[in-house]
Amino acid sequence: MRADAPVALVTGSSSGIGEAIARHLGELGHRVAVNSSRSVEEGEKVAASLPDAVYVRADVADEAGARALVAAVVQRFGRLDVLVNSAGRTRVIPHHDLEAAGPDVWRDILDLNVIGTWQTTVAAMPHLAATGNGTVVNVSSIAGSRTAGSSIPYAVSKAAVEHMTRLLAKAVGPQVRVNAVAPSLIETHWTANDPFFAPIADYVRQNAPLRRVGVPQDVARAVGHLLDATYTTGQVVYVDGGCHLL
């Protein structure tokens, strides 16, 4: 790995979509910072398997944690070119069960999905701007623009991330581009083993134009595309096999 290779920080990258993004960016020649708040052993294994990577444990929902994460990455590599905000959480709550989606659920989801994305981006922005070609990619969801999703608080959080993406793109150009990817159902260890997602997967396989459920690598490739799309900013790219057309 070249000493001047670009550096990418991928939050929430010890497993699932975040791990696939971290691995793909490593394949593309980036030095990668892997992050999680709890899965330390898994995160360390991902970092150890990449050509030039480091694992940093931090909870980006905590402002001090987000700032410490960015500082640790810059101290390790001397720069930061790419930030992928992949850390997120949800609760599976039927949309009609309003009482179950209480204030504590809202705070828990918004603290990480929205505020965590915001404060990590703010901490990273001076370093991204210093490169003159910095890039932020936020991981949203098709639930951010449709009446779908594992819960109403989750869907609302992703709608907020998408509008944040557009607002930031307008505010921080031309030094930094900001885009988002919006997957539909992606088959991870979690979704494959939760019965809530089984009928959704069947519906997607039968009705989506591409007739399959996505895999984490689909999202990773879309992120890689946005890094190359140097005249693209403020966009939300569906990674959904055409589910948004249904």
Backbone angles phi and psi of 64, in degrees to 5: -65, -35
Stretch (H or E) spanning 153: helix 152-172
Backbone angles phi and psi of 217, in degrees to 5: -65, -25
Pairs from 164-171 (Cβ < 8 Å, separation ≥ 24):
164/114, 164/117, 164/118, 164/138, 165/136, 165/138, 165/140, 165/234, 165/235, 165/236, 166/234, 166/236, 168/121, 168/136, 169/233, 169/234, 170/234
What is the biggest distance separating any 2 CA atoms in the chain, rounded to whole angstroms?
A: 54
- Chain centre to alpha carbon of residue 174: 22
Q: Which residues contact 4 (CB under 8 A, 6 or more apart)?
A: none
Active site residue 55: no
C-alpha 230/C-alpha 246 separation (Å) is 30
- Which listed residue (55, 154, 203, 231) is catalytic? 154
Q: Which residues are catalytic?
A: 154
